Structure 1
């Protein structure tokens, strides 16, 4: 600016025409003078460096970050540093004074103005030093006119002086959007209302391959040379990376060979074939599949495309974090939750977010039985797990990558571990807010988000969880539905011991009501207390532990006692299906009932037989409109007519199963406790199946 006072030792470049000052870069480059005196230090302010397709927010933030190199020779001073990456001068740089002739003290007319100013300052200093301790200048001005035959050394513009990749630059310039898409950031309204925090879902399940993996795979394949593309590519993946590589290779005209574990879901195998990949099944997990991929690379010459431990893969996944910060209102968020398998997505997002938004917490989430990153952070280096859980197959990794570990260790704030039940609950949450079904790994970040918010008591915050994939194997939905409400603590499982006398079972049911009963199962033993397995729903606003304790307190006076088994894995996975066993009960009759599900229907059934002993009972809500009950009743001969009338008055479809071979094999014993080999005889005439064709029955029993 004309008339502005100049600062000693500062050169302000002009545009060369009217003397007006050009905009200057706020971060100065300090150039040590030849003399050691502090007064001889010269500061140069450089013109602004362009940032690659960055938003205004990113430009303003990135302007405060010193770049490791000039963006172009025309816009900056070309410097040759004799310092190593730790800022120390090598031995060759310390010693006798460098002769003046080693530097062209008269810059050519075509030099950058700042270059000329620097040379003039050095000339004013005399070009030499008489001090015996003087050192050669650590920054030398290079003549813009190259010597004949001189070739400027090439330098990877995506590598920092530390020799680590410049992930910020790689992410901002990632050429992936001709195949990958910018996915929406969706407000989860139900979760927001329930958790007391604004929850956004980053919908990576909406990518062309239904997972984020297309980002890194496409970036990596586009970085290959023509010679590498001609050799073809191979990769090891549980499914999502495989689909990304297959689709990216097909688009670029590259042959792809995909090594998948034998445990990978069929839906992912079909997708790989559909996208043009050739499948090789090898090993039971990703580690063994990686070994086969390495063999194919070594023996067949394929280019191995890592699933996570590669700078291009990491940077490609990091574009997800770039989109999140651009899509958020005011780029304000308290925490971003990211699932972690090998660590590519977590490392990429953390590298970007922490560079520009260090105040944002980046939190990784792992399933507690596949926590290889968590263990690596505890040990201080990557470790290989002996085994890992395969429910969340997309993140089932026994050893994280070396580069992903370095980035996670440097940038990630903390790791959260969750259970499979919590993952199932998160799948249900995503469905209720989006009507989309994500795979277990796809719901992992949301499960961690819910746990972290609960443990830290945050209210009124703003968080993001990434729904990273939706390649769900349909057969797993059964398990998800079974465990979702347990994981959300909206279903309780209890084991209750009751006296073996008429009316006891009904009294327990009435203690549970009006809560919705989802399962009842028990098998009576003669003259011994009966053990009942029951499950029921708990209101989302209620505390499950308090609800269970309340029920137990209400039946103490009836000589009943119980234990909460909601967190008992044996109970959840096995015992609920094995309750009872064989028993010898004189005059037992077994009936199977079907009815339309409605409140109070179980109470109605048990009230009908309140004055007789119910010695076998099994009911499980299947989520449909028809309920089914298997019930055994101890019927004295003199009550045969009463039994027939009561059954007819129930207005339910039923059939007697006393002669059923499965009942004889698994639920009935003879008087000595042995297996019943012959058909059962009773003192009562058989009761014919009854079909009620009224509005309360959906279909007849067959």
Structure 2
């Protein structure tokens, strides 16, 4: 293997631009303003395969002999390296077989097959695929293209650092780099520390895939028994031997971030440049924010690698919901209020001008109601103050913002049948989404009828949607119709909807 002193020359001579572009280094004005530092994104998500992986794969494969290309190549990958190998094989006109985990996003699998490579799906992570790829290489005589633990691959990835130092010759405080097996981190660290040793090199890993963090801490490569797969691009159980050696010499620290922080970082990038990164692609941005907060940094120049954008569209719903949690812009609170007309309105008045993002409630007993509420906040201290204000009004509340069960499941399960509810009307309302609209709805009822069910979720659309169960005696039918008419909101009576009778009705 090449020694670290050779990497400067190897990176300068790396053959990547037959297929890769010199990606832009873009200023992030919104994020910079919010965290008080100058933040720049290295846009590797703009590569032809939407990831930096094409650099290392092509640099390695461009060095293969004609005979080796004739025998083909094989690779193990969670997705982005697979696309890099497939594109390189297409360019070099050689056969490629890619072993990918069964958990790989369809968008990555489809992208590989479209470039003419054969895909074999096996296991749950990169490490599960690697042994199978080794066996295939031995059986067929194909060359194994390792995604990270190969000097030529490391040198190819190191060209990202070469571009950064050329694009931004001014002072840089720190560069944040995502870590899976460590190829990108090792290559960039070896180059930057040789030329600009004062720049801090910060790796970033998910808390549930922290193999480089633990390996550097213990001074030896460790193998994790399992890894989280939300950031599938870095779902690696053991870092490479050569990458670990280089990172031991050149990396200043490894930052750990959770799923919520990655989701928030995806939103940060979208708000600055309208692009959508995959979780691993936003990992470095999440680490940059965490480090700046931890160190109390201000007016520093910080660069993060936006490393990939290969994500299934159907994950966006979850990411959008979790982003508010990751940025601590939403709090979840469980509130207990008296089961009586007008109590909802009293509670909303105590909330004040805060924007309600979610409101879930179903009648359970005759004396008290348990309400699941989401609120927009600027910082966590607001939640402490709100709970104290509610307590002074004799309303009990519990902060569930960091409760994974509440965030992932309970918020979708609040409801069920209420056998003791009588004269229930189920109404669906649609109204312009603006601050105060929810309180206006409750004020219009004026505490006349008891609310037995309430569901509201702010989806970021122009119109809000409420599902509400209201106990209306038959003799109040005319008054209720008049109330609905005066509200002026679009509405539908769902009292005869079969879904209501199957899952919610008395």
TM-score category, normalised to shorter length: over 0.9
- For the 8 Å contact 2:391–2:397, the answer to whether it is kept is no
Q: In proportion to residue count, which structure has more helix? A: 2
Map 1:18-33; keep pairs closer than 5 Å: none
Q: Please give the alpha-carbon distance, in whole angstroms, between the structure 2 residues aligned to 1:555 and 1:482.
A: 26
- For the 8 Å contact 1:526–1:585, the answer to whether it is kept is no
User: What residue is the counterpart of 1:511 in the other structure?
Assistant: 350
Q: Please give the alpha-carbon distance, in whole angstroms, between the structure 2 residues aligned to 1:573 and 1:247.
A: 38
* Superposition deviation, residue 256 in structure 1: 1.0
Q: Please give the alpha-carbon distance, in whole angstroms, between the structure 2 residues aligned to 1:358 and 1:556.
A: 54
User: What residue is the counterpart of 1:180 in the other structure?
Assistant: 20
- For the 8 Å contact 2:263–2:326, the answer to whether it is kept is yes
User: What residue is the counterpart of 1:477 in the other structure?
Assistant: 316
Aligned equivalent of 2:200, options 347, 355, 361 = 361
Whether 2:390 is the aligned partner of 1:547: answer no
**SS of corresponding position for 1:633:** strand
* Superposition deviation, residue 661 in structure 1: 2.8
Aligned equivalent of 1:615, options 434, 444, 452 = 452
Moved more, 452-461 or 167-176: 167-176
Aligned equivalent of 2:416, options 577, 581, 601 = 581
Q: In proportion to residue count, which structure has more strand? A: 2
Moved more, 635-644 or 248-257: 635-644
User: What residue is the counterpart of 1:147 in the other structure?
Assistant: none
**SS of corresponding position for 2:149:** coil
Aligned equivalent of 1:598, options 405, 410, 434 = 434
User: What residue is the counterpart of 1:321 in the other structure?
Assistant: 161
- For the 8 Å contact 1:494–1:534, the answer to whether it is kept is yes
User: What residue is the counterpart of 1:661 in the other structure?
Assistant: 498
User: What residue is the counterpart of 2:279 in the other structure?
Assistant: 440
Deviations 1:12-35 (A, max 9, x none): xxxxxxxxxxxxxxxxxxxxxxxx
* Superposition deviation, residue 406 in structure 1: 1.1
Deviations 1:659-699 (A, max 9, x none): 33322333244xxxxxxxxxxxxxxxxxxxxxxxxxxxxxx
Q: Please give the alpha-carbon distance, in whole angstroms, between the structure 1 residues aligned to 2:424 and 2:459.
A: 27
Aligned equivalent of 2:480, options 640, 643, 666 = 643
Aligned equivalent of 1:624, options 422, 442, 461 = 461
User: What residue is the counterpart of 1:153 in the other structure?
Assistant: none
| Number of equivalent positions | 504
Deviations 1:504-553 (A, max 9, x none): 11111122231221110111223232111111212xxx32x221122223
User: What residue is the counterpart of 1:308 in the other structure?
Assistant: 148
**SS of corresponding position for 2:277:** coil
Give ranges in structure 1 of 5+ residues lacking alignment: 1-157, 670-702
* Superposition deviation, residue 653 in structure 1: 2.2
User: What residue is the counterpart of 1:563 in the other structure?
Assistant: 398
Q: Please give the alpha-carbon distance, in whole angstroms, between the structure 2 residues aligned to 1:173 and 1:206.
A: 22
Q: Please give the alpha-carbon distance, in whole angstroms, between the structure 2 residues aligned to 1:169 and 1:657.
A: 71
State the structure with bigger RCO (CA 8 A, min sep 6), 1 or 2. Answer: 2
Map 1:76-115; keep pairs closer than 5 Å: none
**SS of corresponding position for 2:97:** strand
Q: Please give the alpha-carbon distance, in whole angstroms, between the structure 2 residues aligned to 1:513 and 1:315.
A: 57
* Superposition deviation, residue 595 in structure 1: 2.2
User: What residue is the counterpart of 2:49 in the other structure?
Assistant: 209
Deviations 1:246-266 (A, max 9, x none): 111111122111111111111
Map 1:526-545; keep pairs closer than 5 Å: 526-538=365-377, 542-543=378-379, 545=380
Aligned equivalent of 2:250, options 401, 411, 435 = 411
Q: Please give the alpha-carbon distance, in whole angstroms, between the structure 2 residues aligned to 1:642 and 1:484.
A: 43
**SS of corresponding position for 1:618:** strand
* Superposition deviation, residue 220 in structure 1: 0.3
**SS of corresponding position for 2:456:** strand
**SS of corresponding position for 2:177:** strand
Q: Please give the alpha-carbon distance, in whole angstroms, between the structure 2 residues aligned to 1:663 and 1:386.
A: 45
**Which TM-score applies when normalising by structure 1?**
0.70
* Superposition deviation, residue 636 in structure 1: 2.6
RMSD: 1.5
Map 1:113-262; keep pairs closer than 5 Å: 159-160=2-3, 166-262=6-102
* Superposition deviation, residue 586 in structure 1: 2.2
Aligned equivalent of 2:136, options 282, 292, 296 = 296
Moved more, 420-429 or 576-585: 576-585
* Superposition deviation, residue 159 in structure 1: 4.4
- For the 8 Å contact 1:232–1:303, the answer to whether it is kept is yes
- For the 8 Å contact 1:165–1:311, the answer to whether it is kept is no
User: What residue is the counterpart of 1:342 in the other structure?
Assistant: 181
Taking a change above 3 Å as real, the CA distance of residues 506 and 488 of structure 1, as seen in their structure-2 partners, is: same
* Superposition deviation, residue 165 in structure 1: 6.7
Deviations 1:634-672 (A, max 9, x none): 223332221121112111222222233322333244xxx
